[in-house]
Amino acid sequence: MISRLFGSYLVKEGKLTEAQLETVYETMRKVRVKLGLIAVSEKLMTTEQSDEINRLQAIMDKRFGDLAVEKGYLTADQVTRLLGLQGNQYLSFVQAIVDNDFLSMDEINKSLADYQNDNGFTATDMEDLKSGESDRIVPLFLPQNIVEYQLEHILMSIRGFIRLIDSDIYVEKGYISDYEEVQSFAMQSLDGDNKATMAIAGEGKNILAVADAFAGETFEIADEDALDAVAEFINCVNGMFATKINNAFDIDLVPPEYSPDGCKFTGKLIVLPVHVKGSVIKLISSFGEFINK
Amino acid sequence: MARILIVDDSRTSRKILRGLLEESGHEVIAEAENGEEGVKKYIECKPDVTTLDITMPVMDGLEALTKIREYDGNAKVIMVTAAGQQNKMVEAIKNGASEFVTKPFEKDNILKIIEKM
Ligand SMILES: [Mg+2]
């Protein structure tokens, strides 16, 4: 998520063009940082040692980390830590920008500091962002003091998006609202010892980004067929949520609802804009009461 | 190859499930979009296997399961749940459901279960 958040910031600030950013994402897809390079940059190995392991690797069917441990260059714990770094999206993003000669490391760091200031993020927030974990990132974009269960409902929805719809989603600043005008939407409530609703709404064809990915087909318009797919995605998320909170509340799924016609949602709403495959949709959550429409 | 009845209020889920089943040589002989319609179709078509979604309007999957088992004590029914809903599964087992699958569908899992029946 951080590569998408910071990437769109760099474009907005004129540091990268849209086309350059696309190239960066393409590079990230193709190139994964080599473990040896990370080990050297972390000063755990010398370049000579890394080269030696690379040569051995060419003739032996063993992983870099295992060979480095066998040779006594790294401990198993260090390998674990390096593997964590290798998977780090922020580092891959930065490397892809530098490798394409779009920006220098210094320019990136300067922009990252600006990004931090513009958004009022603390140093801890920045660590959360760079972690790449949606459960640590998304709360930074939500209002403070959300009840625990509602936060979990939203985070679970985001994990659902990442797993079932688009692994590259990112969010904008969410807000609390008692009134939200929506165009096409799908929603599902949970009822029992407590009440909750999760809705997804989008303008024009935006909601099709969710429908297409979930149903595995291409819808032309946001009609009932498409919205049914969105509703079924919400159903999957809500099923997991109901299971998760069932020790606290006996709460059950209600059949979903959807409509291609606009309507007004009222209630104690938390609205979170989510970028999905180039479109923006709104994730709208209510907990303790249903969304009224 | 089995003759299968799909009961689910979501046309997306019916379509995905039908696709998976037909691709593997099974025959989907009917679809229904709620429990009440599902019971009717069961009596009409006598499928080998029925898949029953739990969360549906008009009549939910649990009630439909009871009705189908009243009519045919040997009915082979696979309950379809949104991931989770464990309490519902326990209730369904008591009422004679043979198996469970969770949404989103995993092809291999569903096919294995149908083979087994
Ligand atoms: Mg359903």
Q: What is the mean pLDDT of chain A?
A: 91
pLDDT at position B68 over 80: yes
Residue A252, pLDDT score: 87
With an 8 Å Cβ cutoff, are B83 and A239 in contact? yes
Identify whether the C-beta of residue A284 lies closer than 8 Å to the C-beta of residue A201: yes
> A253: distance to nearest CA of chain B, Å?
7
For testing contact with chain A, the best of B53, B55, B56 (most A CBs within 10 A): B55
Domains detected in chain A? 2-133 (no CATH), 137-287 (3.40.1550.10)
Residue A38, pLDDT score: 87
Residue A227 with chain B: CB contacts under 8 Å: none
Identify whether the C-beta of residue A276 lies closer than 8 Å to the C-beta of residue A203: no
Judged by DSSP in three states, A154 sits in helix
Q: How many CB atoms lie within 10 A of CB A119?
A: 15
> B18 at the A interface (CB within 8 A)?
no
Q: Distance between CA A22 and CA A97 in Å, rounded?
A: 10
Homologous superfamily of the B3-116 domain (CATH): Response regulator (3.40.50.2300)
pLDDT band at B57 (very low <50, low <70, confident <90, very high): very high
Residue A232 with chain B: CB contacts under 8 Å: 10, 12-13, 103
Q: What is the pLDDT of residues A93-108, one digit of tens each?
A: 999 999 999 999 889 9
> B84 at the A interface (CB within 8 A)?
yes
* Mean pLDDT (whole number) for A144-170: 91
pLDDT band at A250 (very low <50, low <70, confident <90, very high): confident
For testing contact with chain B, the best of A243, A247, A251 (most B CBs within 10 A): A243
With an 8 Å Cβ cutoff, are A240 and B84 in contact? yes
* Mean pLDDT (whole number) for A179-185: 95
Phi, psi of B17 (to 5 degrees): -65, -45
Residue B84, pLDDT score: 62
> B75: distance to nearest CA of chain A, Å?
25
> B23 at the A interface (CB within 8 A)?
no
Residues 6 or more apart whose CB falls under 8 angstroms from that of A152 comprise A241, A244, A245
Q: Distance between CA A98 and CA A31 in Å, rounded?
A: 13
ipTM associated with this complex: 0.90
With an 8 Å Cβ cutoff, are A243 and B85 in contact? yes
pLDDT at position B106 over 80: no
Q: How many CB atoms lie within 10 A of CB A80?
A: 11
Residue A37, pLDDT score: 85
pLDDT at position A248 over 90: no
* Mean pLDDT (whole number) for A135-141: 95
The percent of residues above 90 in pLDDT, for chain A, comes to 67
Residue B96, pLDDT score: 80
* Mean pLDDT (whole number) for A1-21: 96
Q: Distance between CA A198 and CA A196 in Å, rounded?
A: 7
Judged by DSSP in three states, A135 sits in helix
Sign of CA dihedral A85, A90, A96, A99: negative
Residue A188, pLDDT score: 97
Residue A238 with chain B: CB contacts under 8 Å: 82
Residue A62, pLDDT score: 67
* Mean pLDDT (whole number) for A79-91: 81
HSE value, Cβ hemisphere, 13 Å, CA-based, for A210 = 34
With an 8 Å Cβ cutoff, are B102 and A239 in contact? yes
> B103 at the A interface (CB within 8 A)?
yes
Sign of CA dihedral B64, B66, B71, B77: positive
Size of interface A-B (CB pairs under 8 A): 62
Residue A59, pLDDT score: 65
Residue B64 with chain A: CB contacts under 8 Å: none
> B104 at the A interface (CB within 8 A)?
yes
Residue B81 with chain A: CB contacts under 8 Å: 239
